[in-house]
Chain A
Amino acid sequence: GQSLEQPSEVTAVEGAIVQINCTYQTSGFYGLSWYQQHDGGAPTFLSYNGLDGLEETGRFSSFLSRSDSYGYLLLQELQMKDSASYFCAVNTGTASKLTFGTGTRLQVTL
């Protein structure tokens, strides 16, 4: 079976840095994606790691370690608008299907 685990909730203050972890156990693995979803909204793509290491996109960075079956999303200079749910998703390679994690609800406070 496939399983992806993330913390259910994270709280951080505006301007801070927060890391959202994702551990996975899947039958196939071609890469790890991250999506952001605001309440009532659609998921939007943030980042993708196909290889080990760090990918940086503005205030967001994502890291992957295939040997540890682990990745994380790093959000810097947090803003109130970053309050949302964040999902990791594994591309199992079978028709590029994505298996999504349980999601982490990030609350940014003043």
Chain B
Amino acid sequence: EADIYQTPRYLVIGTGKKITLECSQTMGHDKMYWYQQDPGMELHLIHYSYGVNSTEKGDLSSESTVSRIRTEHFPLTLESARPSHTSQYLCASSELYGGETQYFGPGTRLLVL
């Protein structure tokens, strides 16, 4: 079944640790996105990718970085986590010419102590 997966679903980590949030999709979509969402608030785009070896920063400045080595995989990395990074991180994907219809993963809830 075509889907989009994120791991871990929940992560509690100490300040200064390096973390990688995983995102994989089996729909063959070219475009992938990372959003940050605080509870009860709107989604903010932090990174996106058109395809392999393509990454761009989104509208919200983020200290995280991303990579796109394979079509199906779009991991997000924080080199040194801080309490201000506490949030929910949502990964999404879409077809190359269908960006208005995005498919979201279940999200990773990150708590940095």
Q: Please list the residues of chain A having a beta carbon within 8 angstroms of any beta carbon in chain B.
A: 2, 30-31, 33, 41-45, 48, 50, 85, 87, 89, 91, 95-103, 105
Contacts and interface: CB of A to CB of B under 8 A. Distances in A.
Nearest to B92: A43
Given A42-B107, A97-B59, 20 more contacts: A2-B59, A33-B100, A41-B106, A42-B90, A42-B105, A43-B43, A43-B104, A48-B100, A48-B101, A85-B40, A87-B42, A87-B43, A95-B31, A95-B99, A96-B97, A96-B98, A96-B99, A96-B100, A98-B99, A98-B102
Contacts of A89: 100
Contacts, number: 62
B2 interface: no
> Most chain-B CB neighbours within 10 Å: which of A42, A87, A103?
A42
B42 A101 contact: yes
Contacts of B43: 43, 87, 100
Given A42-B107, A43-B90, A45-B102, A95 B50 contact: yes
A95 B59 contact: no
Interface of B: 31, 33, 40-45, 48, 50, 56, 58-59, 90, 92, 94, 97-107
Contacts of B106: 41-42
Contacts of B45: 97-99
Given A42-B106, A91-B99, A96-B31, A103 B41 contact: yes
A38 to B, nearest CB: 11
Given A42-B90, A42-B105, A42-B106, A97 B41 contact: no
A93 to B, nearest CB: 9
A10 to B, nearest CB: 15
Q: Which 7 A-B pairs have the closest CB atoms?
A: A96-B99, A42-B104, A100-B43, A100-B42, A91-B100, A33-B100, A48-B100
Nearest to A91: B100
A33 B101 CA distance: 8
